Amino acid sequence: MNTVILAAEEGASPLIPDVWEMLITGLGFLILLFIAIKFIVPAFERVYSERTEAIEGGLAKAQAAQAEADAARDEYNQQLESARLEAQKIREEARVEGEKILADFKDRANAESARITENAHRAIEAERAAAVVSLRTEVGTLATTLAAKIVGESLDDDARANRVVDRFLADLDDEQRRSAGAAR
């Protein structure tokens, strides 16, 4: 309160500040401004630029990671499509191979069937020939015995018996051929 009274006695107005106070306050403000511009603002700028770089770097990394993920996805899709095509090709080859194997088995079965049928025909023909020989002998013996009883003399002579049997069988063959020709 003494300063207000002293200022009032000297003629100074309380609304107008003292020049020395303004000069010291202005000098202090300029020193503070100098310190802020010289030290504080560059520190803030450095922190700001580091943050900007970090954010931009993070964005660049994220974009690079996204591009890498897209490339990996595209490569995966390509590999998947390639695998699908290869699987389809393998299935087709397996189907063709299966058809070849099946055709080969059919051919083998047909060949085996033909071989078995041929062997059976040969066996039947051999049995028929053996039966004909056996029947000729049997029929010859019966015919000779019957002829001997009818004629009343013995036909023990082998040459004569063979001629009689051969003539009898020839007559039977001729008769069989005539009946087969008449049936046609």
| Domain residue extents for the chain | 16-183
pLDDT of residue 174: 84
Q: Yes or no: say if 140 and 165 are a contact pair by the CB < 8 Å rule.
A: yes
Q: For the residues 131-159, what does the mean pLDDT come to? A: 71
Low-confidence winner among 25-29, 86-90, 104-108, 148-152 (lowest mean pLDDT): 148-152
Residue 1 pLDDT: 47
State how far the Cα of 20 lies from the Cα of 159, in Å rounded to an integer.
Answer: 179
The Cα-based distances of 30 to 26, 41, 84 in angstroms read 6, 15, 77
Q: What is the DSSP letter of 39?
A: I
Model confidence at 153, pLDDT cuts 50, 70, 90, reads low
d(CA 30, CA 28): 5
SS3 113: helix
The answer on pLDDT for 87 being more than 90 is yes
Of 165, 107, 105, give the one whose Cα is nearest residue 137.
Answer: 165
Can you read off the two tokens belonging to residue 15?
Answer: 């609304």
pTM of the model: 0.39
Give me the mean pLDDT over the 16-35 stretch.
93
- CA Rg, the chain, in Å? 66
What's the pLDDT score for residue 184? Answer: 64
